[in-house]
């Protein structure tokens, strides 16, 4: 009998669970799926096995346990159930690991308690991750389960990049500092960029631009993160689909004092009704480009604000790194939106940055260079794969 070689990756949100089952002998997907609207009307599971038809099931799912049981049933129907001997481990995406978790970690009661202690700094994310972990442990208490933290890759940031310039005692009392997120993606993409350049990660300095619905930039020096744009929460930094990114913190006092908004209303405004959606009503870059092509001024301005912020971070991270070998675009917008890449690089020749129009226009799922041949700094597109990275980290931990 072959030894266990499959890893189930779970990404539990407040009302959803995304999952992938991977074969770690070659990193291939055996099944991918999603449960949506957990605990709401119209819960739905969509399951796609690698060698079969997509299956969709609508059934009431009151909570994560019902959702995970439904996932387990779908996997069993493919002969890949949670009880099958080939399953080596479950890898959980956990958003916030604070300063304690710098590496993927086998989940114990003590680890879970520590993740719970971080809820005050990640109130929107960690509770859902914890529910997912508890449920999966109840279903397979004997199986190794690993937490892979979104913050872990950023724990190498030096203190001068991680600290806000606010009163040290107040900051420390409330664990206020810059943690950064999307770390699994930044780790994977910076390493794959080195591979694309034919170098070891320790030899290259990379600026990674993870532009999805959430968006963040990171400066990675020799494989270690030295700065990133998200902070205490994922709100800081770049303009995102629905988040403002950087604003003067005084905007919040002003809204409180002058507009009479509550803290929760301001939170909702900046996280859900700002960014591209707040600026022009759309957060999908495809739709924004279509509107720009039709001459829509609001869409144009939203695009220009998005790109302006991006350029500021690219410039800043060139300064932070000193020497830059590559700037890499990834995630939904970064991988697909050639106009964003073109606009972000425009006028940055002084930093050695440029895109080749023809290479930039190529549509591909493969890592690729889009800078002109012979450029001082490579510009690359590298599709991110957070699930594969979580699975790899999980598997290597339980196999040691």
Residue list for the binding site for substrate:
93
Q: Is 307 in the site for ligand ADP (CB under 6 A)?
A: no
* Closest by CA position to 140, among listed 7, 38, 264, 27: 7
Q: Hunting for tokens 């300064």 — which residue is that?
A: 319
The secondary structure of residue 260, as a DSSP letter, is -
Residue 150 annotated among the catalytic residues of the structure? yes
Task: Measure the CA–CA gap between 54 and 328, rounded to whole angstroms.
Answer: 33
* Residues facing residue 10 across a β-bridge: 19, 92
**Total residues contacting ligand ADP (rule CB under 6 A)?**
13
Contact with ligand ADP (CB under 6 A): which of 15, 48, 213, 242? 213
* Of residues 123, 16, 131, the one with CA closest to residue 70: 16
What spatial distance separates the first Cα and last Cα of the chain, rounded to whole Å?
Answer: 20
Q: How far is the CB of 210 from ligand ADP (least distance, A)?
A: 8
Dihedral over Cα of 248, 250, 252, 258: its sign: negative
Q: Is 241 in the site for ligand ADP (CB under 6 A)?
A: yes
Q: Which of 45, 277, 285, 391 binds ligand ADP (CB under 6 A)?
A: 285
Burial of 347 (0-12, 13-18, 19+ CB in 10 A): exposed
Query: Looking at 35-43, 90-98, 211-219, 266-274, which segment touches ligand ADP (CB under 6 A)?
Result: 211-219
Task: Tell me: does residue 212 bind ligand ADP (CB under 6 A).
Answer: yes
Which one of 43-51, 81-89, 162-170, 328-336 is the stretch in contact with ligand ADP (CB under 6 A)?
328-336
Of 82-90, 226-234, 313-321, 331-339, the segment contacting ligand ADP by CB under 6 A is 331-339
Distance of CA 379 to the CA centre of its chain: 21
Closest distance between ligand ADP and the C-beta of residue 213, in Å? Answer: 4
Query: What is the token pair recorded at 257?
Result: 């004092």
Please identify which of the residues 51, 78, 150, 304 carries the catalytic annotation.
150
Check binding of 283 to ligand ADP (CB under 6 A): yes
| Residue 383 near ligand ADP by CB under 6 A | no
Q: Which residues bind ligand ADP (CB under 6 A)?
A: 212-214, 241, 283-286, 331-333, 336-337
As annotated, the active-site residues are 150
């Amino acid at each position: 009998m072959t030894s266990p070689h499959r890893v189930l990756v779970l990404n539990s949100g407040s009302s959803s669970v995304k999952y992938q089952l991977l074969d770690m002998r070659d990193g291939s997907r055996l099944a991918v799926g999603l449960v949506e609207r957990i605990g709401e009307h119209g819960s739905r599971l969509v399951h796609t096995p690698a060698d079969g038809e997509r299956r969709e099931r609508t059934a009431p799912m009151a909570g994560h346990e019902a959702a995970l049981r439904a996932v387990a049933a779908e996997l069993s129907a493919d002969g890949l159930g949670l009880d099958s001997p080939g399953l080596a481990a479950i890898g959980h995406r956990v958003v916030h690991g604070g300063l304690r978790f710098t590496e993927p970690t086998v989940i114990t009661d003590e680890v879970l308690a520590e993740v719970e202690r971080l809820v005050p700094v990640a109130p929107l994310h960690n509770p859902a991750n914890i529910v997912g972990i508890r449920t999966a442990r109840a279903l397979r208490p004997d199986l190794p389960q690993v937490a892979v933290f979104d913050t872990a890759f950023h724990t190498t940031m030096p203190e001068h990049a991680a600290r806000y310039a606010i009163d040290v005692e107040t900051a420390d009392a409330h664990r206020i500092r810059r943690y950064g997120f999307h770390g699994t993606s930044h780790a994977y993409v910076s390493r794959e960029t080195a591979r694309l350049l034919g170098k070891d990660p320790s030899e290259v300095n990379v600026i990674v631009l993870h532009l999805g619905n959430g968006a963040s930039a990171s400066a990675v020096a020799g494989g270690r993160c030295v700065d990133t744009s998200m902070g205490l929460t994922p709100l800081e930094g770049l303009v995102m689909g629905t988040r403002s990114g950087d604003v003067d913190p005084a905007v919040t006092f002003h809204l409180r004092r002058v507009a009479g908004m509550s803290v929760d209303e301001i939170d909702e405004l900046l996280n859900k009704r700002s960014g591209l959606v707040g600026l022009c009503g759309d957060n999908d870059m495809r739709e924004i480009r279509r509107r720009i092509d039709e001459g829509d001024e609001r869409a144009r301005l939203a695009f220009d604000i998005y790109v302006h912020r991006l350029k500021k971070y690219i410039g800043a991270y060139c300064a932070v790194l000193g020497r830059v070998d590559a700037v890499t675009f990834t995630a939904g917008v970064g991988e697909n939106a050639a106009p964003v890449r073109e606009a972000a690089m425009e006028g940055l020749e002084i930093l050695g940055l440029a895109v080749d129009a023809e290479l930039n226009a190529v549509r591909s799922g493969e890592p690729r260079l889009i800078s002109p041949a012979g450029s001082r700094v490579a510009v690359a597109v590298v599709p991110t794969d957070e699930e594969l990275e979580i699975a790899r980290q999980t598997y290597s931990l339980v196999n040691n």
